[in-house]
Homo-oligomer: A and B are copies of this chain.
Amino acid sequence: MLKRGRILIVEDEPALMRGLKDSFAGKNYEVLAAADGEAGMNLALSASPDLILLDIMLPRLNGFEICRAIREQNLDMPILMLTAKGQEEDIVLGLNLGADDYIVKPFRLGELHARANALLRRSRKQADICRFGEFELDLISRRLYRNGSEVELTAKEFKLLAHFAARPGRALARDAILNAVWGYSAIVTPRSIDRCVATLRAKIEADPHQPAYIQTIRDIGYRFEPEGRAA
Asked if B217 and A142 make an inter-chain contact with CB atoms under 8 angstroms apart, the answer reads yes
> Of residues 196 to 219 in A, which have CB atoms within 8 Å of B's CB atoms?
217-219
A155 within 8 Å of B by Cβ?
Answer: yes
Chain copies in complex: 2
A179 interface residue per 8 A CB criterion? no
Known contacts: A142-B171, A230-B150. The answer to whether A110 contacts B92 by CB under 8 A is yes
A101 within 8 A of B: yes
Whether A115 sits at the interface, judged by CB under 8 Å, is yes
Instruction: Determine if B154 and A141 form an interchain contact, defined as CB atoms under 8 angstroms apart.
Output: no
User: In the complex, which residue of chain B has the Cβ closest to the Cβ of A229?
Assistant: B150
Nearest CB in chain B to that of A95: its residue: B114
Within 8 A of B (CB), among A99-115: 99-102, 108, 110-111, 113-115
Beyond A141-B223, A170-B141, A223-B141, whether A91 also contacts B114 by CB under 8 A is yes
Verify A111–B92 contact, CB threshold 8 A. yes
| Distance, CA A150 to CA B110, complexed state (A) | 50
Asked whether, in the complex, the Cβ of A223 is within 8 Å of the Cβ of B92, the reply is no
CA distance A150 to B108 in the complex (A): 52
Are the C-beta atoms of A88 and B115 separated by less than 8 Å? Answer: no
A118 at the interface (CB under 8 A from B): yes
Name the B residues within 8 Å of A113 (CB-CB). 92
Question: Does A15 make an interface contact (CB < 8 A)?
Answer: no
A220: interface (CB < 8 Å)? yes
Write the nearest CB–CB distance from A132 to chain B, whole angstroms. 15
> In the bound complex, what is the Cα–Cα distance between A99 and B115 (angstroms)?
9
A49 within 8 A of B: no
**9 closest A-B pairs (Cβ-Cβ)?**
A142-B171, A155-B219, A95-B114, A92-B114, A88-B108, A95-B118, A141-B169, A91-B111, A92-B110
Please name the residue on chain B nearest to A156 by beta carbon.
Answer: B219
Pair B115/A95 contact, Cβ less than 8 Å: yes
Provide the bound-state CA to CA distance between A220 and B139, in Å: 13
A101's partner among B76, B101, B155 (CB-CB below 8 A) is B101
Rounded to whole Å, the gap between the CB of A53 and the closest CB of chain B is 16
